[in-house]
Structure 1
Amino acid sequence: MQVSGKIKLINDTQTFGASGFRKRELVLTTDEQYPQMLMIEFVQDKVDILDAYKVGQDVTISINLRGREWINPQGEAKYFNSITGWRIEATAPAAQGGEAPATFETTSIAQNEEPDDLPF
């Protein structure tokens, strides 16, 4: 699964516990009618790939959705979701109000071919 947008924030790397688990968070603002700010985690060896990117850059991130169940001390089940990134690529900014790409039919007509005007 992939998500695209502009980098809003890149946090510093955090290290947890004796095992040295590493995590780094990135906030991505999607480029859609109602932009969403998504917190995406990069963990362990994927933390370092964020060094090549900066705030304001347009990117596409390959992600995995993760879900967990936790039973609290009262015995109630709680559920948590996370978005984990595993690849990031720079992209060109989304076109604002640009022309739609040419379709096959308009391309054929532009090459001086006669349009097929049969109803079937």
Structure 2
Amino acid sequence: MEVQGKIKMIGETETVGNNGFRKRDVVVTTEEQYPQHISVQFVQDKTDLLNNYQVGQDVKVSINLRGREWTSPQGETKYFNTIQGWRIESVQANAPQGQTPPPQAFEPATDLNEEDHDDLPF
């Protein structure tokens, strides 16, 4: 899955727990009729992917949806979802998706015979 939009916020890398788990959040605002502010979490070595990006930049983020179950000490079960990023790439602003590059210009052939240009039947 992918989320595309403009970077609204890039958080600092946080280390959580005693095992050195690292996480970093980025908020991407979609560009549609009703823009959404999507928080995407990058973890472990993927946190470094955000170093080359800035607020205001147009990006496409490849994501996975993660869900987990947690049972409280009182026996109550709760469910949590996380949007986890694994790739981020810059996109050109205002470029339609799927747009093909313009065709390359070719130089006209110069080795045509003078007689070849009159071969049309009309």
- SS of 1:6's equivalent in the other structure is strand
Change (3 A) 1:6 1:15: same
Query: Partners of 1:94 and 1:74 in 2: how far apart?
Result: 51
Give the conservation status (yes or no) of the 8 Å contact 1:24–1:43. Answer: yes
Query: Partners of 2:84 and 2:36 in 1: how far apart?
Result: 16
Compare CA radii of gyration and give the structure with the larger one. 2
What pairs with 1:90-109 in structure 2 (closer than 5 Å)? 90-94=90-94
Query: Partners of 2:82 and 2:17 in 1: how far apart?
Result: 20
What is the match of residue 68 of structure 1?
68
- In structure 1, runs of 5+ residues without a counterpart are 102-120
Q: TM-score normalized by structure 1?
A: 0.76
- In structure 2, runs of 5+ residues without a counterpart are 100-122
Give the conservation status (yes or no) of the 8 Å contact 1:31–1:94. Answer: no
| Large movers: runs of 4+ above 6 Å | none
What is the match of residue 30 of structure 1?
30
What is the match of residue 82 of structure 2?
82
Query: Partners of 1:29 and 1:4 in 2: how far apart?
Result: 8
What pairs with 1:106-117 in structure 2 (closer than 5 Å)? none
CA offset at residue 46 of structure 1? 0.2
Give the conservation status (yes or no) of the 8 Å contact 1:16–1:22. Answer: yes
Query: Which amino acid in the other structure matches residue 65 of structure 1?
Result: L
